[in-house]
Amino acid sequence: MKVAIYQDNVSSNGTLYTSLGRLLGKQNVDFVDANEVIGGVLHRDVTILFMPGGASRYKEAKLAGPGNDAIKNYVRGGGSYFGICAGAYMACETTEWARGTEFEIVRSNELEFFPGKAVGPIKDFSQAESYNGSDARIVDLDFGSRKLRALYWGGCRFVARPQAVFETIATFSQLHDNSPAIVSGTYGSGKWLLSSAHVEYDASAIELIRFEVVGNNFKDIAALIGSNNLSLEPFRELVDSLLP
């Protein structure tokens, strides 16, 4: 059993690697890039492809056409796709980022696993700071019968088309319309799961980003309140749901 993290050589995926290593053993976690995806690496015993956060347009630029076709063929044939934040945006039919602002990005996507739009950032939590993201917040999720805390860092609101078929795994507790925070579904013989929140972050991961250095670019992370309650348990359950 092996899982793969897509690496775009722009975004840092260290936290995702560390968390998956803790859950599955580091020997079972690998990185793959666009050239490898296009070359067919996903069909070599990869159980889950993790498409991490960052900025989806960098991933899209390298995977456009044959890369995304390879991902769709992999999932259609029985593989699993786990998209987090940017990885969730690019797996929706349409992305709407910071609409009506100087950072607006509106585009259709090729993967199209989720039948609807990814609209972000969620203004109830934070505003767009650039084309890449927004400030981080700790938010509450209704996860089944439990209320859990998670890191929000520029993720989307999932807006489905009428009569769309998918499953809502968790919702944002603080949003009046209970917008989905984590959704899932099937594609061919495979599965997809998309999380707006960074469920791969727990309290220890946040602590590692608390720096007292000049020019700290992660001041919003350092100032987070309530991060000591973050746990990897929800992430473990989501990963387990995609394992054979």
Identify the pLDDT of residue 1.
64
The strand pair at 105-108 and 92-97 is best described as: antiparallel
Question: Which of these ranges, 45-49, 73-77, 199-203, 225-229, has the smallest mean pLDDT?
Answer: 225-229
Domain hosting 230: range is 2-242
Q: How many domains does the chain fold into? A: 1
Phi, psi angles (nearest 5°) of residue 198? -85, 80
CATH number, position 107? 3.40.50.880
Identify the pLDDT of residue 9.
87
Residue pLDDT, tens place only, 55-100: 999 999 999 999 999 999 999 999 999 999 999 999 999 999 999 9
Residue pLDDT, tens place only, 2-17: 999 999 988 889 999 9
Q: Which residues of 61-93 are buried (b: 16+ CB within 10 A; e: fewer)?
A: ebbeeebbebbbebbeeebbbbbbbbbbbbbbb
